[in-house]
């Protein structure tokens, strides 16, 4: 039922969006000829307030601030690509309080060496952490909420060095496969700790293999879709695999107003034995730079 609702929302947005209202980024044309960029800043929200409302309803609001940048410089010998994804948001529900809805710091920098037109050697670095503290929520014997911190800025933080071979046939698709060294930093919450030892470890080094599959497609000047599938296999064994699949459909309804529909799936054995899922539908102001 949720999937059908998402598809209906997407179809409605694509149908009623007006192509004549589409426009380029605010700084379009200011980049050197050998550089390309897709940079968007956004503020999304929703708000409901009920007062003496006799029908069913609960007051709530959600806000999200995000910044996405995909910038590439192209030369004869090599291409240099930088991905930046920043997001922070919260949801408040009457009677439940405030919870995080988004919290992400992501920076990936890759250099592709142009061995052939489609196959390239690459090397790069990736950094990931969060802005705000994360909590778990429970209740005590008296029914009072118990709030326990389980993560914070730089705890955990992930630093990954990668090198391998990339297949990039066009601007829409790329496949990367290479060696990766994934480092986990966690000073207080145990994300880097080996539970089989008595010592509390604050740092973990994991060499392994990494795969990144990316696809992006622009239906028109007002609608685009992008997907990224990341997988990392520790050399310890196949059961040490981590993965994340991110999908986002963005539709510009009128200038500076955008609808986003996203679906993410993630698996990390250190966090949970089961896969994690996230679906989002967001509407709000969008400031396109390029």
Helix (H) or strand (E) holding 184: strand 173-185
DSSP, res 267 = E
Least confident of 66-75, 100-109, 187-196, 223-232: 187-196
User: For the segment 81-90, what is each residue's pLDDT rounded down to a tens digit?
Assistant: 999 999 999 9
- Place 129 in a pLDDT band, splitting at 50, 70 and 90: very high
pLDDT digits (tens, 9 = 90+) for 25-61: 777 778 899 999 999 999 988 888 888 777 778 888 8
pLDDT of residue 21: 34
Share of the chain above pLDDT 70, in %: 89
Q: Is the pLDDT of residue 14 over 50?
A: no
Domains recognised in the chain with CATH numbers: 2-49+59-288 (2.40.230)
* Secondary-structure breakdown of the chain: helix, strand, coil percentages, each rounded to the nearest 5: 5, 60, 30
Residue-wise pLDDT for 228-282, tens only, equals: 999 999 887 656 789 999 999 999 888 889 888 999 999 887 666 788 898 988 8
Kindly list the distances between the CA atom of residue 22 and the CA atoms of 223, 258, 285, in Å, as whole numbers in the listed order: 10, 11, 14
pLDDT average, residue stretch 58-86: 94
Q: Which of 70, 64, 74 is nearest to 278 (CA)?
A: 64
Whether the per-residue pLDDT at 200 is higher than 70: the answer is yes
Name the token pair of 139: 């209740």
**Predicted local distance difference test score (pLDDT) of residue 238:** 57
The reported pLDDT for the residue numbered 228 is 97
Is the predicted pLDDT of residue 13 greater than 50, yes or no? no
Please check the confidence at residue 141 and state whether its pLDDT lies above 90.
no
Tell me the average pLDDT across 144-149: 90
Split at pLDDT 50, 70, 90, the class of 3 is very low
C-beta atoms surrounding 85 within 10 Å: 17
> Mean pLDDT, to the nearest integer, of 93-118?
93
Give the predicted TM-score (pTM) of the model. 0.85
The mean predicted confidence, pLDDT, of the chain is 87
Per the CB < 8 A criterion, the answer to whether 190 and 231 are in contact is: no
Distance of alpha carbon 85 from alpha carbon 129, whole angstroms = 11
Q: Is residue 94 predicted with pLDDT exceeding 60?
A: yes
Task: Inform me whether the pLDDT recorded for 11 exceeds 80.
Answer: no
Q: E strands of 60-115, at which residues? A: 60-74, 78-93, 97-113
Distance in angstroms between the alpha carbons of the first and the last residue of the chain: 36
CA 175 to CA 212: how far, in whole Å? Answer: 6
């Amino acid at each position: 039922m949720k999937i059908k609702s998402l598809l209906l929302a997407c179809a409605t947005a694509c149908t009623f969006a007006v192509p004549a209202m589409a426009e380029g980024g605010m700084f379009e044309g200011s980049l050197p000829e050998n550089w390309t960029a897709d940079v968007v800043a956004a503020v999304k929200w929703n708000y409901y307030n009920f007062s003496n409302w006799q029908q069913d309803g609960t007051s709530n609001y959600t806000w999200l601030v995000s910044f996405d940048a995909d910038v590439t410089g192209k030369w004869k010998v090599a291409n240099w690509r930088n991905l930046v994804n920043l997001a922070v948001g919260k949801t408040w529900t009457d009677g439940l309080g405030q919870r995080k809805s988004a919290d992400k710091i992501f920076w990936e920098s890759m250099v592709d060496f142009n061995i052939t037109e489609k196959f390239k050697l690459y090397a790069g670095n990736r950094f990931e952490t969060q802005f705000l503290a994360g909590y778990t929520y429970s209740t005590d014997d008296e029914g009072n909420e118990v709030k326990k911190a389980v993560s914070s800025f730089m705890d955990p933080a992930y630093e990954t060095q990668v090198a391998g071979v990339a297949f990039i046939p066009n601007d829409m698709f790329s496949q990367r496969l290479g060696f990766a060294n994934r480092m986990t930093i966690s000073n207080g919450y145990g994300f880097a700790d080996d539970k089989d030892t008595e010592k509390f470890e604050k740092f973990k080094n994991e060499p392994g293999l990494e795969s990144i599959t990316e696809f992006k497609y622009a239906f028109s000047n007002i609608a685009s879709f992008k997907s990224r599938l990341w997988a990392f296999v520790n050399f310890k064994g196949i059961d040490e695999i981590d993965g994340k699949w991110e999908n986002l459909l963005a539709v510009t309804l009128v200038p500076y107003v955008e609808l986003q529909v996203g679906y993410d799936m993630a698996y990390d054995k250190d966090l949970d034995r089961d896969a994690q899922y996230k679906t989002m539908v967001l509407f709000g102001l969008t400031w396109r730079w390029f």
